Amino acid sequence: MNGAMWKVVSRGTSLIFHSKKRSALSVPVRAFSAPTGLYGFPHLKTAKGFQSFVDEAIQRSGELISYICRKQPAAEVMRAMDEISDTVCSVVDSAELCRHTHPDREFVEEASKASMRINEYLHYLNTNHDLYDAIKKAEQECHMLSEEAKRGVRNLRVDFERGGINLCSGKLDRVNTLNIEISQLCREYNENIVMDPGTVDIYPSSRIPRNLHYLVKPIHRSVSLITKDLSGSRSTLKEKGFRITTDPQTLSSVLQFSSDDEVRKMVYIRGNSVPHANVDVLKRLISARHELAQIMGCSSYAEFSIKPNMALSPKVVMSFLLEMSKMVKPKTREEHKLLTKFQREKCRQSDGDLRPWDETYYMTMMKSSAYKLDASVVGSYFSLSNCIEGLKVLVQSLFGATFHSIPLAPDESWDPHVLKLSLHHPEEGDLGYLYLDLYSRKGKYPGCAHFAIKGGRRISQTEYQLPIVALVCNFSGSQNPSAVRLSHWEVETLFHEFGHALHSLLSRTDYQHFSGTRAVLDFAEIPSNLFEYYAWDYRVLRKFATHYSTGEEIPQKLVESMQGARDMFAATELQRQIFYALVDLTLFGEQPLPHGDISSVVAELKREHTNYGHVEGTHWETRFSHLLNYGAGYYSYLYAKCFAATIWKKLCEEDPLSSTTGLALRTKFLQHGGAREPDALLNDLLGDGIYRYQDGGIMPDISCLCDEMKLVEEYPRQVHLL
């Protein structure tokens, strides 16, 4: 959620409604029937139900506000505030998921209306002085509260202030207007990506290899031919071609597998030049966020955004990114020279430079050549049903829990192929619920993501509201999980998003305000990065990766070849992520931007921090949606990568599936969500050495990542002493 106090970044939720008293509040408590509507919310049997869903959330929140204003003790204030958060977040999160995944246009439109209405109500909540005064009073009286409640009260007070509660009315009105504008611009940016993915028409059809035909659409054009006889008559033929839609997934496949240089160039330029409308949208978003930050007393949106995080300031983040860029550069140059040499040999050229549209193709070819990898052979061990089994192996081995398929109630699902799983522990019972929406379809969110529906929270001494999340992917092909074959990159992505889901499902915080991934951004990405390691470890893969027809266990030599291919250009991929983070940090940094317009900034950073120049006319940043959700926060992926490398090496690598490892991950890390300070959790998990302090902020130790990627012969360990 946008706004100060109640933020929703698609993070976690539960569809468990209790007919018993929901809390100790002396306000009307509603009884709910069993789930019967979309995501289990009774209101959402129809698209129009979003209207009453919002109405009831606003009504219930009003009752809770009245209760809080009757001078309640600190514990009751915190409990009631969290119920307001839970009530409002249920609407925001369900609307967000619906807007991105529902195939029915009416549902999408009603969810968008609900999202706008509830966001407007959020601005009212975040500027409510009665609530702010109650929180300040509770903070003064919080000595009897639990540590989590104290942290909750303090965070709520800070969030109110970050929302501008202390500003004069004129400035506060402007902040509210800007927040609404920012929300609308983010929505417009995402809608433009879906509505204008770009297309390229290729003739003749023979230029597109057969293994890409499933991604393209047949088209025809009329071609006039002049006969060779003396009459000179003309005849018309229909020539067959293909239309390529340059959405990110198709673009990636064409760049990887098309041997036609010109085809790759055309789809690269087109895919990185749409949607053009977002050039202006992004410019306005940067301007609005900058104005907001300045009203809040910050020099830039980056400063405003990073202040609550472990890093604390853009200065710390920039120092980290430049250190990473410097560290990775020598190896990326080696990799680039190697790839250039390979390309020249294949093309029988003595000179010529690699172009951006060549990189993926020749990397794929070089990896296949060096390690004799065939994508179809690798995919034969990773049917979607096998990979879902792999998720079950993880929770069983690490946490002693099992996933069970459970039937969906009438109107609960949004697509016939959605699955619902319960995570069950033999001693603790159900721990939470997971929807799986795994197949691509028209109009659906184009990537893979973890969406919240409800966050876990303690309702009473004996009742706990279980978390519910949705894991959304876009796997193509048949909608039979046994027939769908995933690339290993897709397997890694599935495990990454599953890490987020586990963070939510295993969270046992008292307040949904801290449930699962509701933590500071540069901490919340750690579990997802950690679980990527499980997708590469042979000891894990052999438990579920079996051949779709023979049942043969995946050979260890094949996994070693996959690992070798991954490592061939690992430095280049890391450099790309550093570049993305630098773009994000710079665009939302101090204004006016260096080098003038946005594209010039991106071009200069690309020249400085990668081995490729900018392609004139492209504006890759117009469909990099992380600029919306993680404005000035994309560095969090790199922070998480460093932390995850250390956790894997020191805790997991020796025996990744042991219950001892799982117990440590669950009890010292995952179950706490955002309820404890990140540095305290990391210290409890691994002890000293996982991070260092710099300029008041926390910076991850990078030595384990360096060792893993062999970036330097011997990383200078003295960084710990800085």
Residues serving a catalytic function are 497
**Listed residue (451, 455, 566) closest to 497, CA to CA:** 451
The whole-angstrom separation of Cα 537 and Cα 330 is 28
The whole-angstrom separation of Cα 596 and Cα 600 is 6
Handedness of CA 621, 624, 627, 633 (dihedral sign): negative
The whole-angstrom separation of Cα 446 and Cα 459 is 36
**Listed residue (256, 194, 281, 354) closest to 619, CA to CA:** 281
Residue ranges of E strands in 426-572: 429-439, 449-454, 457-458, 464-465, 468-475
Which DSSP helix (H) or strand (E) runs through 219? strand 217-226
The whole-angstrom separation of Cα 321 and Cα 312 is 14
| Token pair belonging to 190 | 């995402």
Q: What is residue 672's DSSP assignment?
A: G
Q: What's the burial of 268, exposed, middle or buried (CB within 10 Å: 0-12/13-18/19+)?
A: buried
Which DSSP helix (H) or strand (E) runs through 287? helix 277-295
Q: Find out whether 588 and 289 touch, Cβ atoms under 8 Å.
A: yes
Amino acid at 46: T
Q: What is residue 464's DSSP assignment?
A: E
3-state SS class at 679? helix
Tracing tokens 């202030």 back to the chain, one arrives at 161
Q: What is residue 91's DSSP assignment?
A: H
| Token pair belonging to 51 | 């209207």
DSSP alpha helix (H) spans, 506-555: 521-524, 526-534, 538-541
Taking residue 405's Cβ as centre, other Cβ atoms within 10 Å add up to 11
Between the alpha carbon of residue 205 and those of residues 211, 470, 516, the distances in Å are: 13, 39, 49
